[in-house]
Structure 1
């Protein structure tokens, strides 16, 4: 599946969560393109041009700078993929996708839960992503050696993902945005006894930021260790945000 196709499918699926009656034709109207062309983009028959990509980002009310740069990177990746099918090129694209899209790590975590099934329909239902996106993600994780299938048993290899190329900063920012959007999308769906969303605003000494990052990193690891004890039946995402409210000056 093309990277830009996954982008469109994910955006359509996310909007359908809030508007279950959303049709492909209506989504195409939001993007400002004919529904037949949307079908071509999603099915990989055509690759978006950059003017169309900018129009799509605008229609989706996404960030015209960061999100456009991310989509531009995906389109360039799709174009390069058509030029060469070398295995090393495929692996670099796989690494890029795993870093950028949250659901890859969610699948790796899901593997350790009770009654896991390596089935795209089951995985898509469990972490709320389209079936074809789930199938593409599974294939990607296998190619990278992050998942191994032995005699019907599926294991996450715990292999470290060492990227062989620079991940554009706008793509990493998009990954962070995805985590924040998930919180917003699920705020009204997840009961309060199954989540915790709190905040605190305080004055601080900016010179303490490196120490604060270290404490937050240690806290994340300890929390993951605590919640990972015993039988695992769900996958959670812990977000800790430390950012300025005041206008930052150097």
Structure 2
């Protein structure tokens, strides 16, 4: 059998379940000291282990020096590859239907284990009107972005993404609402539950494409970190990078 993280995990899980038929994936994740979602995704080939989690797995499975060398080699090879885009891209017309912030929030509430597929529960969690929650839930169901299973919401898509660097009224609306939500959080929520920061700097405009790509990759890494383990809340991460000087060249800009 080829030496891979997945194969080692499956082999060890099978051994433990042979000794104890009630031994679960959650128990295995606990014993490995990694999130059960992470473990499930690795076994389903949806993601790779981070450097930290790989180290934990190797220590707890007592892998041999040969196996460790192979796993580290695979990790370095994986890290050097272009990132696979596993998002679901929505066209402008579809995103326009769910551009309001609470639609995306509901999609993420669906990833919380003990969620309830009821407008009352959604409204309570998001602080919106029950009628808004009802309309949004019905629309997400009709678009097949979520489904109801035993009274719970189940998300049917990978993370949602839209076009980039293309003028869009729907996307502008969504970002505008997120900025308003951020301002409300700034004045409402305890400082230990949020993080606001900024830096003002002189900028070389030619470096902006590289900076935007770096921000995109950073968002993905932070999302992977925060979604690991038992999720109970829904957060929005926003980076604000914008000019505060009047741009000297606006020939290619659009509103």
Q: Which residue of 2 aligns with 1:243?
A: 242
Q: Provide the residue aligned with 2:156 in structure 1.
A: 157
Q: Matches of 2:131 and 2:177 in 1, distance apart?
A: 19
**Partner residue, 1:96:** 96
Q: Please report the TM-score for the alignment, with normalisation by the length of structure 1.
A: 0.58
- Against the structure 1 CA distance between its residues 94 and 216, is the aligned structure 2 distance closer, same or farther, given a 3 Å change threshold? closer
The answer as to whether partners of 2:116 and 2:151 remain within 8 angstroms in 1 is no
Instruction: Give the deviation of 1:148 after TM superposition.
Output: 1.4
- Report deviation, 1:142: 0.4
Q: Which residue of 1 aligns with 2:33?
A: none
Q: 1:218 to 1:150 in 2, by over 3 A?
A: same
Asked whether the equivalents of residues 120 and 132 of structure 1 are also in contact (C-alpha less than 8 Å), the reply is yes
Unaligned 5+ segments in structure 1 are 1-91
* Structure 1 counterpart of 2:138: 139
SS in 2 for 1:154: strand
TM-score by length of 2: 0.57
CA contact (8 A) 2:110 2:153 kept: yes
Q: Is the 8 A contact 1:104 1:137 kept in 2?
A: yes
Describe the SS at the equivalent of 2:215: helix
Change (3 A) 1:202 1:127: same
2: CA distance between counterparts of 1:112 and 1:151? Answer: 15
Structure 1 runs, 4 residues or longer, greater than 6 Å off: 160-163
- Structure 2: where are the runs of 5+ without partners? 1-91, 250-255
Q: Tell me how many residue pairs correspond in the alignment.
A: 156
CA distance in 2, matches of 1:201, 1:162: 28
Alpha-carbon distance between aligned partners in 1 of 2:192 and 2:159, rounded to the nearest angstrom = 34
TM-aligned CA deviation for residue 155 of structure 1: 0.9
Deviation at 1:153, TM superposition (A): 4.2
Counterpart for residue 169 of structure 1: 168
Cα deviation for residue 162 of structure 1 reads 9.0
Which structure has the greater CA radius of gyration? 2
* 1:95-153 CA-partner distances (Å, limit 9, x unpaired): 4221x211111001011114211111111111111110110000000000001123434
Question: What secondary structure sits across from 2:184 in the alignment?
Answer: helix
Deviation, structure 1 residue 193: 0.3
SS of residue matched to 1:249: coil
RCO (CA 8 Å, sep 6+): is it higher in 1 or 2?
2
Residues 146, 159 of structure 1: 8 Å contact kept: no
Give the root-mean-square deviation of aligned CA atoms: 2.4
Aligned residue runs from structure 1 range 229-240, under 5 A? 229-240=228-239
Tell me the equivalent position of 1:187: 186
